[in-house]
Amino acid sequence: MHAMVMNKIGGPLLWTELPDRQPGPGEIRLKIRACGVCRTDLHVLDGELPDERVPIIPGHEIVGRVDAIGSGVDSLQIGQRVGVPWLGHTCGVCPYCAEQRENLCDRPLFTGYTRDGGFATAVIADAHFAFPLGDEGEDIALAPLLCAGLIGWRSLVMAGGAQRLGLYGFGAAAHIIAQVARWQDRKVYAFTKPDDLAAQTFARELGAIWAGSSDQAPPEPLDAAIIFAPLGALVPLALKAVRKGGRVVCAGIHMSDIPSFPYASLWEERELLSVANLTRQDGLDFLALAPKIGIVTRTTSYPLAQANEALADLRAGRFEGAAVLVP
Ligand SMILES: [Zn+2]
Ligand SMILES: [Zn+2]
């Protein structure tokens, strides 16, 4: 097994050979076909998340084929294609697990953060946290659905029934969720980095009725906004952009500090909330819906050994849509 391993916080990803391991009870081993690159991988690499396990193999948008099965697993078969998402394990007994909020589990494991992930040729996963993907669709095209799609979907649900929906940061997640929102007959307003005309054009191609810079006001007040970019400064801007009673959803795992803002921006029952992780039900709901919507992901693929280049290109915004590593 070959993998890109991050050895220490802030260190580069190193290409190494790892000993093959057999799956234990309740586990499966996947031969990886594709793994998406997510902004969270940058947060892991930059040491911005608490309690990170190092060394760690990043990557949590994994598409692979089952090639070994541990004892006690009867739901999956050798050769079956599955997806492994960010949520890698939950305890099943804490108060959050007990009330169907396993995304908030007290003792979770996260793929590519506290358990080894998909920047590798193979991965061991908890069989209960792997989604069967069927045989429709290309591996590379499906990979971004496993996080950008799933967390984006949870964020969209959290945004409620908003007709006029703002998306701040038009990267991997927004380019998927814009398609879902259009399919649901919502109006999408896309906010990008100031003067990122390529992203604005991309957003319009995907059905946004308006695209502009994040420091611009939308042409009409929004019912809700989702912030995908990791910039706290967007929070006051998004609150200003939503109408009375409107909602702002922060979808990222990490954000720079939120600058202070006048209470008037929150007043009139505007709501501000965050989305954390996903539940398995989110995954089942979204992956069942995705083929009906006909989501088309825009991907840029890199050989696995060029994971560092893919991450650097993501950081610099050098592509539209999502980067995907191929072993
Ligand atoms: Zn739990
Ligand atoms: Zn992610």
pLDDT of 10 reads 62
pLDDT of 11 reads 72
**296 alpha carbon to ligand 1 midpoint, in Å?**
34
pLDDT of 9 reads 62
What is the mean predicted confidence (pLDDT) over 290-314? 96
Q: Which region among 17-21, 156-160, 192-196 has the lowest average model confidence (pLDDT)?
A: 17-21
CA atoms within 13 A on the CB side of 237: 20
Percent of the chain with pLDDT over 90: 93
Tell me the ligand closest to 37's alpha carbon. Answer: 2
- 55: preceding bond cis by omega (within 30 degrees): yes
CB neighbours of 76 closer than 8 A, spacing ≥ 6?
Answer: 28, 66, 69, 82, 127, 130, 132
What is the mean predicted confidence (pLDDT) over 256-274? 98
What is the mean predicted confidence (pLDDT) over 108-121? 97
**251 alpha carbon to ligand 2 midpoint, in Å?**
10
Compute the mean pLDDT over every residue in the chain, rounded to the nearest whole number. Answer: 96
Strand partners for 146: none
Tell me the ligand closest to 145's alpha carbon. Answer: 2
pTM: 0.96
**269 alpha carbon to ligand 2 midpoint, in Å?**
30
Tell me the ligand closest to 322's alpha carbon. Answer: 2
Sign of the CA dihedral with 312 first, then 317, 318, and 321 last: positive
Is residue 299 pLDDT above 90, yes or no? yes
Tell me the ligand closest to 112's alpha carbon. Answer: 2
Measured between alpha carbons, how far is residue 130 from residues 6, 108, 138, 180 in Å? 24, 15, 18, 23
Tell me the ligand closest to 90's alpha carbon. Answer: 1
Is residue 158 pLDDT above 80, yes or no? yes
Per-residue pLDDT band for 197 (boundaries 50, 70, 90) equals very high
Per-residue pLDDT band for 7 (boundaries 50, 70, 90) equals confident
What is the mean predicted confidence (pLDDT) over 140-149? 98
Measured between alpha carbons, how far is residue 33 from residues 137, 138, 175, 233 in Å? 13, 10, 22, 37
Count Cβ atoms below 10 Å from residue 199 Cβ, excluding itself: 22
Tell me the ligand closest to 103's alpha carbon. Answer: 1
Residues 262, 286 contacting (CB under 8 angstroms): no
CA atoms within 13 A on the CB side of 60: 29
Q: How far apart are CA 180 and CA 294, in angstroms?
A: 9
The one-letter code for the residue type at 77 is: Q
**279 alpha carbon to ligand 1 midpoint, in Å?**
11
**189 alpha carbon to ligand 2 midpoint, in Å?**
23
Give 66-87 pLDDT, tens digit per residue.
999 999 999 999 999 999 999 9
**103 alpha carbon to ligand 1 midpoint, in Å?**
8
Percent of the chain with pLDDT over 70: 99
**299 alpha carbon to ligand 1 midpoint, in Å?**
34
Tell me the ligand closest to 176's alpha carbon. Answer: 2
pLDDT of 80 reads 98
**95 alpha carbon to ligand 1 midpoint, in Å?**
7
**8 alpha carbon to ligand 1 midpoint, in Å?**
28
Q: How far apart are CA 168 and CA 187, in angstroms?
A: 14
**109 alpha carbon to ligand 2 midpoint, in Å?**
14
Tell me the ligand closest to 155's alpha carbon. Answer: 2
What is the mean predicted confidence (pLDDT) over 106-131? 97
Give 198-227 pLDDT, tens digit per residue.
999 999 999 999 999 999 999 999 999 999
Residues 61, 85 contacting (CB under 8 angstroms): yes
**197 alpha carbon to ligand 1 midpoint, in Å?**
43
Strand partners for 187: 164
Tell me the ligand closest to 106's alpha carbon. Answer: 1
Q: How far apart are CA 196 and CA 34, in angstroms?
A: 28
Tell me the ligand closest to 147's alpha carbon. Answer: 2
Tell me the ligand closest to 107's alpha carbon. Answer: 1
Measured between alpha carbons, how far is residue 204 from residues 188, 199, 213, 313 in Å? 9, 9, 13, 23
Tell me the ligand closest to 42's alpha carbon. Answer: 2
Is residue 52 pLDDT above 90, yes or no? no
**40 alpha carbon to ligand 2 midpoint, in Å?**
5
